[in-house]
Structure 1
Amino acid sequence: MPLNPKFQKLLDTDFDNMYSLGVDKLREWYGKSWDDFKGDVLEVGTVVNRVVKTSKRDTPIRVYYSEVKGIHPVFIWIHGGGFVLGNIEVYDSICRKIANNVNCTVISIDYGLSPEHKFPEPVEECYQVVKWIFENAKELNINSDKIAIGGDSVGGTLSAVICQLSRERKEFSITYQVIINAMLDLLGQTKPKSRVENAKGYRLTTKGIEWFVQQYLRNLSEAKNPLASPLLADNFEGLPAACIITSEYDPLRDEGEHYAQRLSESGIEVCLKRYDGIIHGFFNMQRTLEEARDALDLVCTKLSEVFSK
């Protein structure tokens, strides 16, 4: 399908040139770059900012309670940004809509960014936050038997890794995973064709992926570790059911679809949807893209189905 013409003005930007700005300026630009695309900030029941003490750092989280009182399931959200960019604010409107539409509590994690916090620090930090949420379910007024996790881009990467760690460590259980445009094979060792077909010209480029990976890893050999590249895990059995969203013009498209295939082959229930004519990062373009709103509605529908069981 042809590229959606709504991206034309956005793609006039030379995104590869942005990496020469330096991390601080790039973060400032990235935060502002979503202002014209993000959805409206909806009212929810209550929003509470907290800090969780982990072994890595004091981690800010934001808790979104729906307007309906009671003990609710919880959806844990991990933001995207290539391990280097982004924060809770970028996806604030997304979390609010999920809290309202699913009638669940949403908790967003503001994990430490690279290169200050390199692999595996963000993995362990996010895992410890999820464990804290499970252990403090009564205080948080959530149902510890109904914990789902998900994220956009590398937020999806970290979510997939936490699902694998949860299965191995058996300290808490994850009910469902939402994986959106995720980087699941950091160096492309599974030879995804989309990294060649969509290497340049569609916002996230192959050069950009390489830059982000270099910021995240201490050594490129770490990319072979499934805690960095969850697609490279040997065993997919026993992982939670999944909603996986990919985009036609995303260099990460094929690894997301390969991940869905690996889960399905292991007997895991998977909802896979590819959005044709669409680029990486579209999920947060709620104001401008019908496809983004459709994808968010899909996520809300799947979470509602899972939480109602």
Structure 2
Amino acid sequence: MPLNPKLNKLLETDFEKIYALPLDQQREWYARSWDDCKESIVEVGSVNDLIVKTSVRDTLIRVYHPKGNGPHPAFIWIHGGGFVFGNIEVYDSVCRRIVNNANCTVISIEYGLSPEYKFPLPVEECYETVKWVSDHAEKLNILADKISIGGDSVGGTLSAVISQLSRDKGELKIIYQVIINAMLDLLGETKPKSRVENAEGYRITTKGIEWFVRQYLNELSEANNPLASPLLAENFAELPAACIITSEYDPLRDEGELYAQRLAAAGVNVYLKRYNGVIHGFFNMQHTLEEARDALALVCTKLREAFYED
């Protein structure tokens, strides 16, 4: 379907010019670019920032509790930003909405950004943080047997990787994964047509993806590692059930949909939805786009089903 006209003004921005700025200015621009959903603070039961000591660094997490005594199920959120941009503040409003609408504790991870923290450090940091959450469930007033994970863009990438790691290591249990507009095949080895069809003009470009990948990896050959490109894994069986969301005008659309197909072929329960007329990053445009609000409602519905329907 045609592009949603509400996106026209945003797409007048010269994003290629922004990539040429110094890194600190790029990050500042990215943080400002999400003012869309910061128009009001959504109240939740409580919000606390904690530090988790991982082997990579001291990792900041933000814990959002719903109202009520608990313990509650937990949804661990990993932010997007191409491994280079982003922080817990960017998705603060989204996390608060999930708390209230899914009736769960949300724990948002602020992992180290590239190029300062290159692959596999963000994977190790996020995995160790998720394990810490699982190990400290009682302290966090959450249910250790009802932990899910998810994220937007590369937050979805890391969520998919951690879901695979949790299965393989057997150190913790994840019951559900939410993958939104994720980069799952870093170099496009599966030849996704969307990287050609949507290569330019829709905020994130195929050249932009290549730039982010170069910031993240030490060398491009690392992209063949499933810990970097979870779509290239050999085994998709016994992974957590999944909600996978893609966008019509996203270069990453096809790899998300192929990931859903491979999960389903391996017997994993998958709900896949493509949002037509929107672009990469639409999920955080809660104030502007009805599609974003619908996607968030879908995520919350799927989380409630995973948490409360036995």
Is TM more than 0.5 here?
yes
Is contact 2:36–2:286 with CA below 8 Å preserved after alignment? no
What's the CA shift string for 1:270-293, capped at 9, x where partnerless? 000000011000000000000000
Aligned length: 309
DSSP-derived class of the 2:286 partner: coil
Is contact 1:194–1:252 with CA below 8 Å preserved after alignment? yes
What's the CA shift string for 1:245-273, capped at 9, x where partnerless? 00000000000000000000000000000
What's the CA shift string for 1:127-164, capped at 9, x where partnerless? 00000000000100100000000000000000000000
CA apart distance, 1:36 = 2.9
DSSP-derived class of the 1:36 partner: helix
Could you tell me which runs of 5 or more consecutive residues in structure 1 were left unpaired when the two chains were aligned: none
Equivalent-residue separation in structure 1 for 2:289 and 2:188 (angstroms):
29
Equivalent-residue separation in structure 2 for 1:39 and 1:302 (angstroms):
26
Identity between Structure 1 and Structure 2 (%): 73
Counterpart amino acid of 1:259? Y
Could you tell me which runs of 5 or more consecutive residues in structure 2 were left unpaired when the two chains were aligned: none
DSSP-derived class of the 1:189 partner: coil
Equivalent-residue separation in structure 1 for 2:173 and 2:70 (angstroms):
21
CA apart distance, 1:38 = 4.7
The 3 A distance-change label for structure 1 pair 31 and 296 is: same
Match of 1:94 in 2: 94
CA apart distance, 1:39 = 6.2
Is contact 1:39–1:285 with CA below 8 Å preserved after alignment? no
Equivalent-residue separation in structure 1 for 2:41 and 2:207 (angstroms):
33
Match of 2:74 in 1: 74
Match of 1:178 in 2: 178
- The TM-score with structure 2 as length reference comes to 0.99
- The TM-score with structure 1 as length reference comes to 0.99
Match of 1:241 in 2: 241
Equivalent-residue separation in structure 2 for 1:63 and 1:37 (angstroms):
19
DSSP-derived class of the 2:84 partner: coil
Counterpart amino acid of 1:56? V
What's the CA shift string for 1:185-206, capped at 9, x where partnerless? 0000000000000000000001
**What is the RMSD computed on CA atoms of the aligned residues?**
0.7
Is contact 2:37–2:93 with CA below 8 Å preserved after alignment? no
What does 1:179-218 align with in structure 2 at a 5 Å threshold?
A: 179-218=179-218
Counterpart amino acid of 1:301? T
What does 1:45-60 align with in structure 2 at a 5 Å threshold?
A: 45-60=45-60
Equivalent-residue separation in structure 2 for 1:249 and 1:38 (angstroms):
25
DSSP-derived class of the 2:36 partner: coil
Equivalent-residue separation in structure 2 for 1:66 and 1:39 (angstroms):
21
Match of 2:229 in 1: 229
Equivalent-residue separation in structure 2 for 1:38 and 1:302 (angstroms):
25
